[in-house]
Amino acid sequence: MSDVPTARDNDSTTGDDATVPAAPKWGRLPTAPAVTTVLTEILKHGPIPRIEVARRTGLSQTAVTKAVARLAEHGLISAHDHRRSSAPGRPVQPLSVHAEAALAIGITVRVDAIFGVVTTLRADVRHSIHRPLASTVPAAVADSVATVIDLLLADLGPDAERVLGAGVAVSGEVDSDLGIVRNSPRLNWTDVPLRDLVRERRELPVLVDNDVRALSVAEEWFGIGVDANSFAILTIGAGIGCGLYVNGDIVTGDHGVAGEIGHLPLGPSELLCTCGRYGCVETVASTSAIVHAIRTTRQDPLLTMREAVALARGGDAVARGAFERAGSVLGLALATVANLVGPSSILVAGESVANYDLFDLRLREAFEAHVFGSAGACTIVAKSHTFEDWARGSAASAIQALVKGKLAAQS
C-alpha cells in the first residue's frame, strides 16, 4: 500500500534517544458491578447530573453516590464533582470523568505497518506513532508491537504509570477471551496466540481484538452509538468489514464471525474472492478489486490506486465504472444489513472513504432500491478515517475491557 507512511509522524516531547521508563505499576479500575455501571454511564454521557445516572442505570441515588465516591478515591472523578452540594440553592455539579487519570494504548496491525496511539480514558488521542512492518511472521509482529509500546511509553515519560493496558487489533477472526487470532487471511495467520506473544515481551494487560469490532466499541462509547439502540459500521478499504451493534450489544456471534459483509455473495458470480469463494462483495469493492478491474480493462498492470482515483475524478469511463460498480454492490450490502438489523444509522469508514465521492451516488441508489420499508429510515454517514482511527478503536476496546474488569482478569 503506497500511502502508508514509514516514519514516525508525531514527535514526542522526548527525543529518539529517550530511555524507556521502568515497568509501570499497572493499576486497575474499581470493578464492583454498580461502580462499573456508573463509570460507564459517566464515560458515555458525562457531564451528566447524578439523578440522570440513577435514572439511566436503575440504581438508587444512594448507590450512585457510593459508586461515585469510590471512583473519586481512584481519581477518576474530579474532586469537586463528587461532593454532594450541602448548601440550599447551590447547583450540583454534573459528573464527568477525569479523562487523564488513566491512559490506554491502542495498536492496529496492518500488513505493512503498525500504528499505535495513547489515549485518555475517553479515547482522546494524546500521542500517535507508526512503524513499518517488514514481516508478518507472528514473532516479528509481536516484536514490533513491543517496540511501539516502548516508544509510546517513552513519549509519556512519568505519565506512563497511568497506562492501564493495551488493545491490539488485527483483521480476521479473533478470540478475545483467549487472546488468539484464529484466522487472519491478510496476515496469513491461523491460531496465533498474539496476546501471549506480546505479554512475553512486555508486562502489561493486553486485549487482542478484531479491528472492526474495536472500531465499533469506539463508536459505541464515544461516537454515534452513545444514544443509539442499534447502529452499523461499514469499513471500506483493502477489505470490506462491518461492525454491528444491536439492541445495546456489539454482535460477536458464537464462532468469532459476524458482520462479514465483504463475503456476502452480492457480486458477479464468476469473480473469485481471496477467501476462495465466488461472487463476494470484496471481489468488486475492495481497493485491490477496483484497481485490478481498471488495470485489466486499460491493460495497464502498474496502475496504482492513486492513479485510478485521479482517472475516475477526471471522467475516465473505465475508472468511473469500476468505482460505480463497487458503490452498487456496497449499496446492496448495506440494504441487506438494514433489512436484517434495522440500525438507526450506518457509518461508512475506512481508508477508501477518502474516495467516497466516487461511490456515493451508486451506493445510495442501490441502497434505496433494495431497503425494505421503515429500515430505509436508517441514515448513512461517511466519516473521514485514518489508520490512527483504527488504533484509537483498539484503545477504546481496551478501555471498555478495563472498565468491565475483563482486562485486569487476564493479567
Residues lying near Zn ion in the complex (CB under 5 A) are found at 263, 273, 275, 277, 280
What is the torsion angle, in degrees rounded to the nearest 10, for the CA atoms of residue 399, residue 400, residue 406 and residue 407?
A: -20
Asked if residues 329 and 363 have their Cβ atoms less than 8 Å apart, the reply is no
Handedness of CA 369, 371, 376, 379 (dihedral sign): negative
Least gap, CB of 267 to Zn ion (angstroms)? 9
Question: 132 or 265, CB closer to Zn ion?
Answer: 265
CB of 238 to Zn ion, least distance (A): 13
CB of 246 to Zn ion, least distance (A): 23
Q: Which is nearer to Zn ion, 83 or 277 (CB)?
A: 277
Least distance CB 294 / Zn ion (angstroms): 20
Nearer to Zn ion, 277 or 306 (CB): 277
Task: Name the minimum Å distance from CB 153 to Zn ion.
Answer: 39
Query: Which of 43, 18, 149, 151 shows the shortest CA–CA distance to 101?
Result: 43
Q: Where are the alpha helices (DSSP H) in 342-373?
A: 360-370
From the CB of 214, what's the least distance to Zn ion, in Å?
22
Q: Return the number of the residue (16 or 270) whose C-beta is nearest Zn ion.
A: 270
Q: What would the DSSP string read from start to end of 14-40?
A: S-TTPPPPPPP--------HHHHHHHH
**In the bound complex, what is the minimum distance in angstroms from residue 131's beta carbon to Zn ion?**
30
Nearer to Zn ion, 102 or 280 (CB): 280
The one-letter amino acid at 131: R
Query: Which is closer to Zn ion, CB of 66 or CB of 292?
Result: 292
The residues near 140 (Cβ < 8 Å, ≥ 6 apart) are 133, 134
Phi, psi for 207 (deg, rounded to 5):
-110, 130
Per DSSP, what are the bridge partners of residue 105? 118, 166
328 or 400: CB nearest Zn ion: 328
Whole-angstrom CA distances from 205 to 27, 96, 319, 329, 398 are 10, 26, 47, 40, 9
Q: What single-letter amino acid sits at 349?
A: A
